[in-house]
Amino acid sequence: MPTIQAHIMEGHADGQKARLIEVLTDAVVAALDAPIDSVCVLLNEIPRAHFGIAGKAARAGTAPRAVLQAFLIAGRTDAQKVRLVEKLTAAAAAIDVAPGSVRVFIQDLPNEDFGLGGLTARALGRGIGRAALVSHN
C-alpha cells in the first residue's frame, strides 16, 4: 500500500523520471520491508512558475526541488519512518535534487481510512486504527 506522491519541477527527461520511480520504489522497499508489488509512485510535474520558493516563482535557473509525500497505513515504527525519510531524500538525486532541497512528509492513515480492492485495510487485517494512533501520540 505505500504510495509516494512526488511533486517535482518540470523539465526532466523521461529516462530520469523512470529512474526516479525506480529508486523511490526501492527506497520504500528497503526502508519499510514492503513488497515491491505494493508500492505505488505518482509523479506530478509542476511548472516552475507554479513552484514557489521564498515567496517567488521558480525560474529556469532555479535548482531543482522535490516534495515527496508518503501515504502509509498506520503502524510503522519510528525507526522505519526515519529510514524512509533518509532513503526518499537520497532517491531524489536521480533527478539532480540536492538533499537540502527535498521535503518529505509522511502521512499515517488509520486502517479504517484506507481501502484496497473494495475493502478497508482494517477488513484486510492491516495496520492500526484511529484509537491506537491517538494513544500512540
Residue 41 β-bridge partners: 4
CB neighbourhood size of 101 (10 A): 17
Is 47 annotated in the active site?
Answer: no
Set of cell numbers at residue 114: 484506507
From the candidates 2, 47, 64, 110, give the one annotated as an active-site residue: 2
| Helices within the chain (DSSP H only) | 14-32, 78-91, 130-136
N-to-C CA span, the chain: 23
For cell 519541477, name the residue: 9
Q: Which residues are annotated as catalytic?
A: 2
